[in-house]
Chain A
């Protein structure tokens, strides 16, 4: 067990994959000498050389597209997209090519490309640097999407993503890059399956499901609710595609109340998908409608007002109050 930040854990996870398999390589803008704008790839260029840690031209479609070609040749590329809002020039390659190559080839080709995207707000940045586009990718069949909320998961998820034969997008909660946690680099333990949700806190009165950057917020909200005498179960979803509905359903059946929280806009988001599925699967066990907490239907607002945009402890508590009032 070692204590490290999420950024360092991803760095160590990448180092392990580069060490273990000569066919893995990293690609992205400024990931070499600079170590990435968030320093997630710090030191890797010096250790593995420019063929394994590739500073690419500034071209997202080119990054994803050439990664697809490398994967077709048997390589395992891990692409870094510099910021969430800049993945869109590569959206075409991800959704029309990466996601569909296996199906298009009737199963004869695989393109195990990993795309790392720092996402989410709360860092006081400017336009296009704080978005949560996960639902846009989750809607596309053929992609898998995971998001760590702690250092141990961060270390293992990147390694598991590289090992997965399907393309995997890893959304990294950038405002948690400096969050420290214990990492066991010897064994993933309960994190062995990256597509399984984790019940982080047991409770009996209501369940809060969150992922990535909102997990610590959900846990803090549960603590606050406990002071008011409510026992709140908290689930870290971990995987956005596929979603571990079994774990969420079991919890919703147990507590009878469900709140889903994410930073992305509520409309058309992952929360709606969870609400719909759980109301189908656990309708008779629910004491209240599933309530969603998320961003508003607006472009990500300017940094000075992002506090009003981002779901915080109070917004989750308000949702819990509404749920408990039924």
Chain B
């Protein structure tokens, strides 16, 4: 792929339709760029010399599972957006359009793998069995995390773009060392009959915008230098808030891997089957000690960047329409129906399950407890810290000054039960 294939930034077409296509092409990368696709938008399954073998591992049950996950997470997204609109969440980061990229890749990971997300990976969280209501703690403003990554090997969301990418590489370097230590222990104790630990890899998610951050570059250098078992999963959803991906890169992002010396694959990010196949391949490649892989999932953020964003200010709705025609759920539904793998009853059930999840998430959000600021004092350091102790003591004394006195008790009590729970006046 030489410079002659670089997407052009100059246009001379006059026909409006051509113009749109050309602009989309320039910004979105040329469709002529090699891109792994198995399931076409019309629901027909194509072949790929390498990845069809991986797709062949998928039976009807797994494919129905992919669809159910994608439908669930889309329903969850709608619910969280509504909760934000109703003032129940401070912000929401929608994922509609990216379901195949997330479910396809997340379902390719094994429990022993460790995942570092950015902040939009709700679908990946679902595949890692994170309680989705826990994801909302951060957006409701009751936690800066909200779940224990050790339970699911799904790390906390990171808001500083790309900051998690070196963490992923370091974690992968730790896996390498663990394997060496384990091998040494086995060698030293040949009689012991230990079950072999399953080989593990790390997968780290980031966006096309984040790919411009230095941390992504440094991470890739480290990963290549140490042959770390890490899969870089870039969801190229074409927009970094209002800035198109053409401002972040002049070549397909997957091509960058070549510069670091490891494989880079561009995959149709709206094709759950291809994403799954490519990610399985990449994770196996990493687990087997063959080093890092970069996957660029070519997809689209159909809605706003966040609930604070207004995409009408920076992009044409026609572009959205173009991408809606490539919807990841629609195409898998078409395939499942055409193959006789799922019927109306199945899709009705999926919808009912989605509504049930939404109701659960809504109720759980209302019930999320406001933490006591004392937990922040407790969690700033692991070990005792005199300044924290001193400030906490001051805070306790100060708060005690607001404790109810006999005169105050005649007043109506606070309507907010949280106030009573913390005993802290606000």
B160 within 8 A of A: yes
How far is it, in angstroms, between the C-alpha of A161 and the C-alpha of B155 when the chains are bound? 26
B410 within 8 A of A: no
How far is it, in angstroms, between the C-alpha of A304 and the C-alpha of B383 when the chains are bound? 44
B174→A72 contact, CB < 8 A: yes
In the complex, which residues of chain B have a beta carbon less than 8 angstroms from the beta carbon of A89? Answer: 214
CB-nearest residue of chain B to A109:
B149
B-side interface residues, number (CB < 8 Å)? 46
A57 within 8 A of B: yes
The minimal Cβ–Cβ distance linking B337 to chain A, given in whole angstroms, is: 43
A142 within 8 A of B: yes
CB-nearest residue of chain A to B375:
A106
In the complex, which residues of chain B have a beta carbon less than 8 angstroms from the beta carbon of A61? Answer: 166, 214-215, 218
A74 within 8 A of B: yes
The minimal Cβ–Cβ distance linking B419 to chain A, given in whole angstroms, is: 21
A73's contact among B143, B174, B180, B375, by CB below 8 Å, is which?
Answer: B174
How far is it, in angstroms, between the C-alpha of A245 and the C-alpha of B149 when the chains are bound? 37
B347 within 8 A of A: no
Contact pattern, A 49-84, Cβ under 8 Å of B = 1, otherwise 0? 001000011010110111111111111010000000
B215→A103 contact, CB < 8 A: no
CB-nearest residue of chain B to A239:
B386
The minimal Cβ–Cβ distance linking B81 to chain A, given in whole angstroms, is: 24
In the complex, which residues of chain A have a beta carbon less than 8 angstroms from the beta carbon of B114? Answer: 73
A110 within 8 A of B: yes
B45 within 8 A of A: no
A70→B170 contact, CB < 8 A: yes
B177→A65 contact, CB < 8 A: no
A73→B178 contact, CB < 8 A: yes
How far is it, in angstroms, between the C-alpha of A195 and the C-alpha of B172 when the chains are bound? 33
Interface residue stretch chosen among B189-197, B219-227, B243-251: B219-227
B383→A69 contact, CB < 8 A: no
A106→B379 contact, CB < 8 A: yes
A66→B167 contact, CB < 8 A: yes
A59→B222 contact, CB < 8 A: yes
The minimal Cβ–Cβ distance linking A115 to chain B, given in whole angstroms, is: 14
How far is it, in angstroms, between the C-alpha of A109 and the C-alpha of B219 when the chains are bound? 22
B409 within 8 A of A: no
Contact status of A65 and B375, CB under 8 A, knowing A73-B171, A105-B148, A142-B381: no
Residue pairs across A and B with CB atoms within 8 Å: the count is 146
How far is it, in angstroms, between the C-alpha of A95 and the C-alpha of B239 when the chains are bound? 28
A-side interface residues, number (CB < 8 Å)? 50
A67→B145 contact, CB < 8 A: no
B382→A92 contact, CB < 8 A: no
Contact status of A105 and B170, CB under 8 A, knowing A57-B225, A65-B165, A96-B163: no
Contact status of A69 and B380, CB under 8 A, knowing A57-B222, A61-B214, A105-B145: no
Please indicate which of the listed interface residues B170, B174, B221 has the most CB atoms of chain A within 10 Å of its own CB.
Answer: B170
A230 within 8 A of B: no
B175 within 8 A of A: yes
B144 within 8 A of A: yes
A166→B383 contact, CB < 8 A: yes
Contact pattern, A 216-237, Cβ under 8 Å of B = 1, otherwise 0? 0000000000000000000000
In the complex, which residues of chain B have a beta carbon less than 8 angstroms from the beta carbon of A71? Answer: 170
A69's contact among B158, B170, B181, B385, by CB below 8 Å, is which?
Answer: B170
B378 within 8 A of A: yes
In the complex, which residues of chain A have a beta carbon less than 8 angstroms from the beta carbon of B221? Answer: 57, 59, 62
A108 within 8 A of B: yes
In the complex, which residues of chain B have a beta carbon less than 8 angstroms from the beta carbon of A75? Answer: 174, 177
B275 within 8 A of A: no
B150 within 8 A of A: yes
In the complex, which residues of chain B have a beta carbon less than 8 angstroms from the beta carbon of A141? Answer: 380
**Nearest 6 CB-CB pairs, A to B?**
A69-B170, A65-B166, A73-B174, A66-B170, A62-B218, A165-B382
Given contacts A62-B219, A92-B215, 18 further A-B contacts (CB under 8 A): A25-B177, A56-B222, A62-B215, A64-B166, A65-B166, A65-B167, A69-B170, A69-B171, A69-B172, A73-B178, A93-B166, A103-B144, A105-B145, A107-B378, A108-B150, A142-B381, A144-B381, A242-B386
Residues on B facing A (Cβ under 8 Å): 114, 143-146, 148-150, 155-156, 158, 160, 163, 165-175, 177-178, 180-181, 214-215, 218-219, 221-222, 225, 375-376, 378-383, 385-387
CB pairs A–B below 8 angstroms (16 shown): A56-B225, A57-B218, A57-B221, A62-B169, A65-B167, A66-B167, A70-B174, A70-B177, A73-B173, A92-B163, A105-B145, A105-B148, A144-B381, A165-B382, A165-B383, A166-B382
